[in-house]
Amino acid sequence: MNVPARPTGGPGLPQERRLVTEVPGPRSRELLARRSAVVARAVGTTLPVFVAAAGGGVVVDVDGNSFIDLGSGIAVVNVGNSADRVVAAVHEQVEQFTHTCFMVAPYESYVAVCEALDRLTPGDHEKRSALFNSGAEAVENAVKIARAHTGRPAVVVFDHAYHGRTNLTMALTAKNMPYKHSFGPFAPEVYRLPMSYPFRWPTGPENAGREALAQAIDLLEKQVGAENVACVVIEPIQGEGGFVVPGEGFLPGLAEYCRSKGIVFVADEVQTGFARTGDMFACEHEGVVPDLICLAKGIAGGFPLSAVTGRAEIMDSPHAGGLGGTYGGNPVACAAALAAIETIEQDGLVERARHIGDLMLPRLRALQEQHGIIGDVRGRGAMVAVELVAGPDDRTPDPAAAAAVSAACHAAGVLTLTAGTWGNVLRFLPPLVISDELLDDALQVIEKAFAEL
């Protein structure tokens, strides 16, 4: 087989949807065969093509097909793939040194990332940060820190939550299949409360904030006891759970309750952080100031980096040497993070995320008018979703329709993701640098997929 010239990714890639073969094409099919011979089957694939380059709002495969990217590698490349500043910073760093381990011999970029997190995260209190590799690792460490601070064992989480796939974070994650099934036993002292889920709230969306808060507090007190709770961990907008935006007042009320009981309030902003929702962090929308905030994904333009940032007195509770890891805060990932953060700030990507929401939400609501299976359109900024159900008067989840629309989008050159406890949510997470033209084209493909369902 002839190997084509290696394409260069980044924003210079032609920003177009282009299909030159069937999907997957012959080169991808060849690689899929190699893959199935050596890669464990439990590692899934959403779009069965192999990537050759990506940048701006497109992903180009090894057959030369160019897909509009509505996934951002699951909310990671908010600044776009191979973004200019990230590429330059990484080049410079790899030529200097690639690793020393910050716990062995420190370097400036780790400190600079912590300074940036201090400045950017909600609240003007004194803060400290610690850097890790993945979102799950950040959440695990937030629980360790909260337990060390409070001397209490219990961790409280919510229905539909997703916090990762390590043993502790599997326990925190709600959904059995595919995340937990056959992988137990799970960590103890984890308690789950009802989530404020407006579309499915029994007495109507307008009550989802107030009533869910009252229920959550009541259950926490009756079944766990506030004095036993180290932390409450919550995604300000649930990601894998289906972009569930809690009812107004739920998050601030929960944070306030935690403060009154000495419970550490942990915001898992792994998916919502770094401009995704049209605020730098989703908590800001209702003025919530978390005690600890977990960050990953969008922090470093595609490099593995995560962080826990929070109140100095909580963060400094664990003993010296109690937190860390070989690669946590790797210098290449830190260089990428500083460049990604600069890009978000200099290029106005918070505003850009709002603009994307302003473009997408009305179009999706108009689509809802035409198709009774679109039960709900929700989200903020560039984190928007539609929940598919049996019909206008029947909220039975319809995962088959979500899979069919997603497959039709893939076949037409648009990379979409699904989510939700029932798998019936189509979620859209475009890179924040995507052009209006590409978004419009992607929306037309989605509209056509619904029309032909």
Ligand X SMILES: Cc1ncc(COP(=O)(O)O)c(C=O)c1O
Q: Least distance in Å: CB of 349 to ligand X?
A: 19
| 382 near ligand X (CB under 6 A) | no
Which residues, 44 to 83, sit near ligand X by CB under 6 A?
Answer: 74
Q: In angstroms, what is the minimal distance from the CB of 239 to ligand X?
A: 4
Span interacting with ligand X, options 121-129, 232-240, 360-368, 384-392, rule CB under 6 A: 232-240
Q: Which of 59/136 has CB closer to ligand X?
A: 136
* Secondary structure (3-state) at 294: strand
Give the residue from 406, 421, 386 showing the smallest Cα distance to 179: 421
The per-residue DSSP string of 218-274 comes to: HHIIIII-GGGEEEEEE-SS-TTTT---PPTTHHHHHHHHHHHHT-EEEEE-TTTTT
* Binding positions for ligand X, 247-306, rule CB under 6 A: 268, 270-271, 296
How far apart are the C-alpha atoms of 259 and 224, rounded to whole Å? 17
Query: Is residue 235 part of the contact set for ligand X (CB under 6 A)?
Result: yes
User: In terms of CB distance, is 138 or 263 closer to ligand X?
Assistant: 138
Which residues in 129-188 contact ligand X (CB under 6 A)?
134-136, 139, 162-164
CB of 170 to ligand X, least distance (A): 11
**Rule CB under 6 A: is residue 417 a binding residue for ligand X?**
no
- Report how far residue 53's alpha carbon sits from residue 377's, in angstroms, rounded to the nearest whole number: 32
Q: How far is the CB of 23 from ligand X (least distance, A)?
A: 25
Q: Which residues pair with 129 in a beta bridge?
A: 309
Min CB(251)–ligand X separation in Å: 14
Q: Which two tokens stand for residue 50?
A: 């192999």
Closer by beta carbon to ligand X, 61 or else 268: 268
Provide the 8-state DSSP code for 329: T
CA distance 395 to 411: 28
Query: Judged by CB, which is closer to ligand X: 274, or 450?
Result: 274
Count how many residues are written for the chain. Answer: 453
Query: What H or E segment, with its residue span, contains residue 169?
Result: helix 167-172
Place of tokens 């409280």: 156
Nearest residue to 173 via CA among 115, 235, 128, 97: 235
Contact between 169 and 235 (Cβ < 8 Å):
no
Q: Tell me the per-residue interface mask from 11 to 40 with ligand X, x by CB under 6 A, - otherwise.
A: ------------------------------
User: 69-99: b or e for each residue (b if 16 or more CB lie within 10 Å)?
Assistant: bbbbbbbbbbbbbbbebbbebbeebeeeeee
Which lies closer to ligand X via its Cβ, residue 293 or residue 432? 293
Give how many residues touch ligand X by CB under 6 A: 15
Complex with ligand X: residue 71 or 375, whichever CB lies closer = 71
Residue nearer to ligand X on the CB measure, 54 or 174: 174
Residue closer to ligand X, measured from CB, 291 or 398: 291
Contacting residue, 240, 291, 376, 441, with ligand X by CB under 6 A: 240
Residues engaged in binding ligand X (CB under 6 A):
74, 134-136, 139, 162-164, 235, 239-240, 268, 270-271, 296
